[in-house]
A and B are shown apart, each in its own frame.
Chain A
Amino acid sequence: MTAFWILAPIMVIAALGILFVRKAVHAALLLAVVMISLAVLYAALDAPFLFAVQIIVYTGAILMLFLFVLMLVGVDASDSVVETIRGQRVLASLGGLALGLVLVIGLGQISLGTAVGLDDANGEGNIQALANLLFSKYVFGFEVTSALLITAAVGAMVLAHRERLTPKPTQASLAAQRLRDYADSGKHLGPLPPPGVYARHNAVDTPALLPDGTAAGSSVSRVLAARGTVRSAPALADDIEELNRQIGGATHAGRESEAAVTTTETTPATGGEH
């Protein structure tokens, strides 16, 4: 019972978290917490086979599938807060609260008596006993399950399959397309510029500077730009100034930073003149 009283609050908090977190990935991780805790509860309830199946099938397979689909659909696909049906959220919360109260009060009042326990049923081992049941009393359901699984696998393949409607682009056609883009819009022929490199900064998120001092937007990954984590070179210069102020006193360092700032300030101006 100790495991239950430790895990039950964790499970309820994690489940409530699924309701309130904004990002779907966080919801998936909270669901993993609930499922692993459930597996431990199965072990406490004398169901070692279900403990293993819960870990392998739910936490291992189903949650991985969820995470894969989240990666494909886009991690930033968060919930919209717009209500399409007016008052739906409030009504759903009230209904849920009512259902929860009815369930908790109703189930809390029943007295089930002492549990029989599974020591007899698990006599020759839980897995052997389950197999005896599964292949005698429930053998028809077991066979129907196989049909269900095959249908699900074929259905998923049909749904996920996409017919190729256009021929696959070859290297020659890609090169021709690039030249056509260059002729039409003047898009640069070569590869994209690499991001800038500064000494104090791991600079994948810092755009490279063009000769006139402006930042080259195409040098930073599109994903970083969408997340809003791209840093600008002037901001880095501010960093240097602030650091020098913190060090303080050291006059030569201050002079150096001033020189650095003035060069960064003057470069765009000279670039503009050209």
Chain B
Amino acid sequence: MNITAYIVLSGILFTIGCVGVLTRRNAIVVFMCVELMLNASNLALVAFSRQHGNLDGQVAAFFVMVVAAAEVVVGLAIIMTIFRTRRSASVDDASLLKY
């Protein structure tokens, strides 16, 4: 079984996540796109783990999942706090440092 197709799929998903982070304005959707990128890299790690025949890649993917879970918890709490003070979940509205 060839894993090139898996790697290409992972690249496509990563690209879509990148474009989403750059174009979407809703902070929660931006966050979902970050998750998509993390998931795409996980797929590459698991595929390479199979290619090389050892489990280091799967352990790395496991660590990525743990870090993603922690990141989501803190990130969503920050979004909640910003929403509470500014009544908006748009990334454009948190621009106070600009002025």
Contacts and interface: CB of A to CB of B under 8 A. Distances in A.
A8 interface: yes
Given A89-B23, A112-B51, A107 B76 contact: no
Given A104-B8, A159-B78, A115 B3 contact: yes
A121 B55 CA distance: 7
Q: Which of A49, A88, A138, A152 has the most CB of B within 10 A?
A: A152
Contacts of A151: 70
A73 to B, nearest CB: 5
Contact of A31 (B19, B26, B36): B36
A152 B19 contact: no
Contact of A107 (B4, B52, B74): B4
Interface residues of A, number: 84
Interface string A147-170: 011011101100110100000000
A230 B23 CA distance: 34
Interface majority SS (helix, strand, loop, mixed), chain A: helix
B73 A72 contact: no
Contact of A53 (B14, B17, B33, B65): B65
Interface of B: 1-9, 11-20, 22-26, 28-29, 31-33, 35-36, 39, 42-43, 46-47, 49-56, 58-59, 61-63, 65-74, 76-81, 83-84, 88-90, 92
